[in-house]
Amino acid sequence: MSNHTQPAASDAHRSVRPATRDMSAVLRLARAANARGAASLLACAACPPALADPASARFFAHLSRVTTTATASEARAAAKVAASRHQRAALHASADARDSASEHPPAPSPKNTKDSYMLFHPQYDMDAIADITPAHRPPRGLRDWVSFSAVQAARSGFDRITGYAPSKVLTREEWLTRFIFLETVAGVPGMVGAMLRHMVSLRTLKRDHGWIHTLLEEAENERMHLLTFMCLKQPGFGFRLAVLGAQGVFFNAFLAAYILTPRTCHRFVGYLEEEAVKTYTHALRDIGTGGSDASVWAETPAPTIAIQYWRLPPDATVRDVVTAVRADEASHSHVNHTLGSMAKDQENPFQTGHTTLPKNFVEPPEGFSPFHDPR
């Protein structure tokens, strides 16, 4: 089952480039007019939503804030330059590019990473990912049993401490607390794996076989989950302290484990992500049934950061975001179960731009045979 669609953001992204040049022209004028105005405009130029749609009211609102600090004639000149160049940029952009830019803000793709600091993330077909259901890979051998048991022990301990049960209906606040805490942990393994493989490659003077980027993409993806949910809730001091403690323990434990047995660690993450799919499915159930105040997320607009990252439609809701996050977790399970069966020098089948998630996501990609796949 293909749950992703290939991104078509390269044209959209090209349409943004003239805006960047316009910003330079405006910046020169504003800088001449007023240092404070220039500083504000620098902040504005760093704002992706403003650049994503240069003709938007938002862009000109930024611009007008800047120009109020300049003299009237300089402000008018700056606005005129920007308006005429935006007009020319729009005329030169193809109709498709303009449509893409307005419907889907540009986001990372294999084609536009030159102009973006974000790593690749595919654009989902929302209908295709709506029915992802939890899946389980039965343990095969000692390594799998160790990983699976560790995940089950961690999950049941955390559930007991937080009073969670799969049958329970959680409130919006409870869901956000759970999401935010778990995502601070989930972003650790990909970064540790990528860092260690990077170091191995450096000190052995050998290539990595393509794993590092996949692991970095996973780490960034988890951090984007965290940043998205942080738009909906700001945790307090005690929570932040708990995050600090959890990271101190988990990072060091995972680092030591990955040095000793990387395949067991990938299998561990594969099982951990199976649990994440279950949790987000439970959350979607609470949103859908109306028994929880989280049901308002079926109507609540998605945070801007999420619309940009997942290239969701402008009217996307928080429920759409949770649906996309669940698809990400299924992808992590798919990737890590596959890596957990591979030899460490086997070529990574998940190259940048890989966009297929099988229905049974706990199994390797169709046609790929991991070196250590015990069947």
Instruction: Kindly state the tokens that stand for 32.
Output: 């001449």
Query: CA 298 to CA 319: how far, in whole Å?
Result: 5
- Give the DSSP H/E element, type plus range, for residue 158: helix 142-162
**Size, binding site for Fe ion by CB under 5 A:** 7
According to the binding rule CB under 5 A, does residue 334 interact with Fe ion? no
Cβ closest to Fe ion, residue 83 vs residue 154? 154
Does position 222 interact with Fe ion (CB under 5 A)? The reply is yes
Is residue 176 within 8 Å of residue 233, measured between CB atoms? yes
Residue closer to Fe ion by CB (options 59, 181) is 181
Q: By CB under 5 A, which span of 97-105, 198-206, 268-276, 305-313 interacts with Fe ion? A: 268-276
Minimum distance from residue 331 beta carbon to Fe ion (Å): 8
Judged by CB, which is closer to Fe ion: 263, or 332?
332
Smallest gap from Cβ 103 to Fe ion, in A, equals 26
Tell me the one-letter amino acid at 238.
Answer: G
Say whether residue 11 binds Fe ion (CB under 5 A). no
Tell me: does residue 225 bind Fe ion (CB under 5 A): yes
Query: Using the rule CB under 5 A, is 332 a contact of Fe ion?
Result: yes
Binding letters toward Fe ion, positions 139-178, x by CB under 5 A: ----------------------------------------
Q: Per-residue string for binding with Fe ion, 42-61, x by CB under 5 A?
A: --------------------
And the tokens for 7? 């991104």
Query: In the numeric block, which tokens belong to residue 279?
Result: 């949790």
The residue count of the chain comes to: 375
Beta carbon nearer to Fe ion, 66 or 215: 215
Q: Are 277 and 285 in contact (CB under 8 A)?
A: no
Binding span for Fe ion by CB under 5 A among 108-116, 161-169, 204-212, 224-232: 224-232
Residue 192 sits in the site that holds Fe ion (CB under 5 A) = no
Q: Which of 253, 235, 325, 245 is nearest to 282 (CA)?
A: 325
* Smallest separation (angstroms) from Fe ion to the CB of 266: 13
Is 274 a binding residue for Fe ion by CB under 5 A? The answer is no
Smallest CA-to-CA distance from 44 within 77, 69, 12 is with 69
**Among 186, 191, 306, 318, contact with Fe ion (rule: CB under 5 A):** 186
In whole angstroms, how close is the CB of 13 to Fe ion at the nearest point? 26
Task: Name the minimum Å distance from CB 286 to Fe ion.
Answer: 18
DSSP 123: E
What is the dihedral angle through the alpha carbons of 223, 227, 233, 239, rounded to the nearest 10 degrees? Answer: 40
277 Cα distance to chain centroid: 16
Q: What is the dihedral of CA 145, 255, 178, 322, to 10 degrees?
A: -80
Q: Which residue has the tokens 């089950």?
A: 152
Look up residue 219 and give its amino acid. Answer: A
Pick from 147, 329, 340, 354: which binds Fe ion (CB under 5 A)? 329
If the CB atoms of residues 59 and 271 are measured against Fe ion, the closer one turns out to be 271
Pick 187 or 370: Cβ nearer Fe ion: 187
CB count within 10 Å of CB 179 equals 24
Which region among 127-135, 180-188, 244-252, 282-290 touches Fe ion (by CB under 5 A)? 180-188
Cβ proximity to Fe ion: between 282 and 332 the closer is: 332
What is the rounded distance in angstroms from the CA atom of residue 21 to the CA atom of residue 27? 10
Q: Which of residues 98-127 bind Fe ion (CB under 5 A)?
A: none
CB of 365 to Fe ion, least distance (A): 18
**Which of residues 79 and 322 has its CB atom nearest to Fe ion in the complex?**
322
DSSP3 helix / strand / coil % (the chain, rounded to 5): 65, 0, 35
Long-range contacts: 295-303, Cβ < 8 Å, 24+?
296/172, 297/172, 297/322, 303/228, 303/231, 303/232
Applying CB under 5 A, the residues found at the interface with Fe ion are 183, 186, 222, 225, 273, 329, 332
